[in-house]
Structures are given as structure tokens and as C-alpha cells.
Structure 1
Amino acid sequence: MSDILAPGIFVRHPSQPDWGLGQVQSVVGQRVTVNFEHAGKLLINAAAISLNIVDPDEEG
């Protein structure tokens, strides 16, 4: 999954919907830094969590 992710892409964490929309800040190997609306900047292990890519224009 991390090979698809790139800085600027918007994502949601599948098991933490209350974190809100997140924007990928950086990708280094399987480590993805995401800035979430309600949780701030977090480091996600893409080997363990498959972030859901979203189009913010379709979010409504």
C-alpha cells in the first residue's frame, strides 16, 4: 500500500473514523506520516494498517 501513497494524498484510517480526514505528509518505506483533522500528525505503519485513499471533493 505504501507504494501507492505519496505526500498530498488524502486518506482515512479504517478503524479510527473519528480522526477525520488525513493528508499524507511523507512516506519512508512502510512508515507513513499523516496529518489528521482531529488527531494531528501521526506515524502509521503501512505494513500493519491499510489506509483508505479518499477524494476530498467527493467527501461532501
Structure 2
Amino acid sequence: MFDKPGNALLSPGDFVRHPGRPDWGLGQVQSMIGHRITVNFENAGKLVIDGNVVELEPAPSSSADRLRR
């Protein structure tokens, strides 16, 4: 399904970071359809990421705590 195998481990609700765009901040996976991953980033809004091109980095749960406040 993905050329970047780490993306196959993601699920909606998971918190991630885009490795090439740290300025986007923390993101939460909204949906995954085919190779398209919709992520809502704190500084860039909702974006669709091509999971065959970019391997998103899982964020530690401690990072996600600040978004829940």
C-alpha cells in the first residue's frame, strides 16, 4: 500500500510530524485513503500527504499532550 513502510503503521488519531517541514508543527492523522494521508497540522492546517513520497514521523505521546490542553 505504501512505498514508505512506516506510514502503514499509522492510524487516524495518531500524532505525527512531517520530517521535511518542522515548521508545520505537530499533526494529527485524520484519515488514510489509499496512499493519501490527511493530517491536521497545528501551524499549517489540514493537508493531504502522499504516503508514497513522505514517511511521516510518529510523535511521542508527550508531544501530543500539549494539543489536548
Given the two structures, how large is their TM-score scaled by the length of structure 1? 0.90
Given the two structures, how large is their TM-score scaled by the length of structure 2? 0.79
**Over aligned residue pairs, what C-alpha RMSD do you find?**
1.4
**Deviating 4+ runs (over 6 angstroms):** none
Counting strand residues as a fraction of each chain, which structure ranks higher?
1
User: How many aligned positions are there?
Assistant: 59
Show structure 2 runs of 5+ residues with no match: 1-5
Show structure 1 runs of 5+ residues with no match: none
Aligned to 1:39: 44
Give the 5 Å matches for 1:16-35: 16-35=21-40
Larger Rg: 2
Counting helix residues as a fraction of each chain, which structure ranks higher?
2
